[in-house]
């Protein structure tokens, strides 16, 4: 089950242009004072080097940034989007305005280091559950303003998107249940009021709540912070009626055991929240 944003090439390209424009405005302001020291007619070549092995992600954002400072820049990727690079491998070569390349350098690297880190981490988690039915799913724990970019990176790494935001799907949590008067009333309200939602999911903390949710017609259930025996029993009780998702307390070390309980999805906030940036550098060579 994917989110409402289609992530088609055209949609991603437009998103990348908007993100790049915002990032450059934030960095450049009224003008790049230091790049202004360079002759505007001067051209240069640049190579982007990955300092560590990673799944490359962020090419549309890097290209959008470069095009906004130099429409005529010549861009050549040596590692394709979604492919893994080796440590100390050149992943991108660019030729264009020396001023433009200097201005774009940090923004290009910022996008690549964040999005490649998300894709690389997601790929590691997806590989850990290979052979089970479980999908690795993201959350809304994203950097403000870069949610769609990070969710794109999750997909690039082999993961699946949860809802984009509060507007496209329903996720009923314990506070919603308490405020609405219980599992059955809140599900009935959701089915009545939010029929246009991409999906309606309800969080349960006990097997009794799971059974009540299933009886009320739940088609997607989030099993919150359950231990392995309880998860296995939840899968047995569900008997394929609803999509079952695990959330809460998920670690990489325990991931495989969770997947082997037979659940359909494992949502992991750390895919986009606790990310160690991939190390990239850019080196310029003057070509006159």
Residue 173: active-site member: yes
Instruction: State the pLDDT at residue 115.
Output: 98
Could you give phi then psi for residue 246, rounded to 5 degrees? Answer: -100, 140
Above 80 in pLDDT, residue 195?
no
Above 70 in pLDDT, residue 4?
no
CA 78, CA 61: separation in Å to the nearest integer? 16
Catalytic residue, chosen from 84, 106, 232, 256, is: 106
Catalytic residue, chosen from 141, 147, 241, 256, is: 141
Instruction: State the pLDDT at residue 288.
Output: 64
Instruction: State the pLDDT at residue 227.
Output: 94
The confidence band for 193, taking pLDDT boundaries of 50, 70 and 90, is confident
Neighbours of 277 (CB within 10 A): 14
- Cα separations (Å) of 108 from 91, 105, 112, 189? 13, 5, 6, 46
Residue 273: active-site member: no
- pTM of the predicted protein model: 0.93
CA 220, CA 149: separation in Å to the nearest integer? 26
State the average pLDDT over residues 37-62: 96
Catalytic residue, chosen from 84, 133, 173, 241, is: 173
Instruction: State the pLDDT at residue 3.
Output: 52
Above 80 in pLDDT, residue 2?
no
CA 54, CA 72: separation in Å to the nearest integer? 29
Residue 63: active-site member: no
State the average pLDDT over residues 20-40: 94
Catalytic residue, chosen from 70, 105, 203, 245, is: 203
Could you give phi then psi for residue 206, rounded to 5 degrees? Answer: -135, 165
Domains by residue range for the chain, with CATH: 9-126+276-286 (3.90.1170.20), 129-271 (3.20.20.70)
The confidence band for 160, taking pLDDT boundaries of 50, 70 and 90, is very high
CA-based max dimension of the chain: 73
State the average pLDDT over residues 209-227: 95
Catalytic residue, chosen from 27, 224, 260, 279, is: 224
Lowest mean pLDDT across 49-53, 131-135, 150-154, 197-201: 197-201
Comparing 39 with 60, the larger pLDDT belongs to 60
Neighbours of 250 (CB within 10 A): 18
Summarize pLDDT for 103-128 with one digit per residue, the tens: 999 999 999 999 999 999 999 999 99
CA 148, CA 225: separation in Å to the nearest integer? 27
The answer to whether 123 touches 54, Cβ cutoff 8 Å, is: no
What average pLDDT does the chain have?
94
């Amino acid at each position: 089950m994917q989110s409402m944003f289609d992530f088609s090439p055209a949609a991603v390209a437009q998103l990348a242009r908007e993100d790049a424009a915002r990032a450059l405005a934030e960095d450049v302001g009224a003008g790049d004072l230091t790049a202004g020291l360079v002759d505007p007619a001067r051209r240069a070549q640049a190579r982007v080097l990955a300092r560590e092995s990673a799944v490359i992600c962020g090419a549309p954002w890097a290209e959008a940034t470069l095009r906004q400072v130099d429409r005529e820049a010549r861009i050549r990727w040596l590692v394709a989007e979604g492919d893994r690079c080796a440590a100390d491998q050149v992943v991108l070569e660019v030729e264009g305005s020396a001023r433009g390349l200097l201005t774009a350098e940090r923004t290009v690297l910022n996008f690549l280091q964040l999005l490649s880190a998300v894709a690389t981490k997601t790929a590691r988690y997806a590989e850990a559950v290979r052979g089970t039915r479980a999908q690795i799913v993201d959350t809304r724990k994203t950097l403000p303003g870069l949610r769609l970019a990070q969710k794109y990176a999750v997909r690039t790494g082999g993961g699946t998107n949860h809802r984009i935001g509060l507007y496209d799907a329903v996720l009923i949590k314990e506070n919603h249940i308490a405020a609405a008067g219980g599992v059955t009333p809140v599900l009935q309200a959701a089915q009545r009021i939010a029929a246009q939602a991409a999906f309606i999911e309800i969080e349960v903390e006990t097997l009794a709540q799971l059974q009540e949710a299933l009886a009320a017609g739940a088609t997607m259930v989030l099993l919150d912070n359950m231990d392995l025996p309880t998860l296995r029993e939840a899968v047995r009780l569900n008997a394929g009626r609803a999509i079952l998702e695990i959330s809460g307390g998920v670690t990489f070390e325990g991931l495989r055991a969770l997947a082997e309980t037979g659940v359909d999805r494992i949502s992991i906030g750390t895919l986009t929240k606790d990310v160690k940036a991939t190390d990239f550098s850019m080196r310029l060579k003057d070509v006159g």
